[in-house]
Chain A
């Protein structure tokens, strides 16, 4: 959370990024809807969701996909993410208990930069993936 400096030389492939857990509430969804401007009714309007055969509203993938980015930036430091790609694999419902995790996949140099590719993911209480993400960060040299 504070301004960490992660040096490229200290990173190991397969290194685990510290993660966290969260139980999803309707309030989380509503807050994220307002913050991001996603007012697609299926995420906040129970009648609308039921009208399409769903049991209730479900969370927009960018909500927990956005929450997942903290695993990356808490570890890598601020302003270092070049690329963050989310694949929305499974639906997330109010009451789901989510785990947010990540791991270093590869370290390499390209075009004068120290790059680290990471895999990140969100799992629900059944171990099913809700989001599968890949990211690339650029890290400084240990001087």
Chain B
């Protein structure tokens, strides 16, 4: 049963260090051989401060939270049924390139939680979440908008 009282609440605030090794690992996992994710000299020659983060790299944030299994814990905390829940949408915004060596501050905020008619009939429950990332000057640099769906 989803916990609608969580709407508008900040679930976590944490540091997100952007690291070379993690970027390399992530680029390998998404099978992108681009040297801008692996070779600091190449990245600098391309005009970046250090190796660049891949487009979807911000979704690796769970590793920086104090949970053994953040995604699982989050589903439980929101009250989502694990057997009927799916990731519906994920949108990532980059306000500027972010490279290894930066440490960002991040916060997870629960948005609206509402019902909607599903494509195959029946009521679907939707949970919107945002993960906002700020730099050392507290400027927004990255944003993740997530939509979780729980089928009827």
Chain A residue numbers with a CB within 8 Å of B31 are: 22, 28, 67, 70
Given the complex of chains A and B, what is the CA–CA distance between A34 and B28 in angstroms?
A: 11
Residues of A bordering B, CB below 8 Å: 1-3, 22, 28, 31-32, 34-42, 52-53, 60-63, 65-67, 69-70, 72-74, 78-79, 81-88
Q: How many A-B residue pairs have CB under 8 A?
A: 127
Contact status A36-B62, CB under 8 Å: yes
Among A37, A67, A87, which residue has its beta carbon within 8 angstroms of that of B70? A37
Chain B residue numbers with a CB within 8 Å of A88 are: 86-90
If A69-B54, A79-B48, A84-B56 touch, whether A1 touches B34 (CB-CB below 8 Å) is: yes
B 33-56 contacts with A by CB, 8 A: 33-36, 42, 45-48, 52, 54-56
Among A32, A34, A72, which residue has its beta carbon within 8 angstroms of that of B55? A72
Chain B residue numbers with a CB within 8 Å of A31 are: 28-29
Of the candidates B30, B70, B93, B94, the one having the most CB atoms from chain A within 10 angstroms of its own CB is B30
Q: How far is the CB of B124 from chain A (nearest CB, A)?
A: 14
- Chain B, 61-84, contact with A by CB distance < 8 Å: what is the 0/1 string? 111000001111001000000110
Contact status B29-A83, CB under 8 Å: no
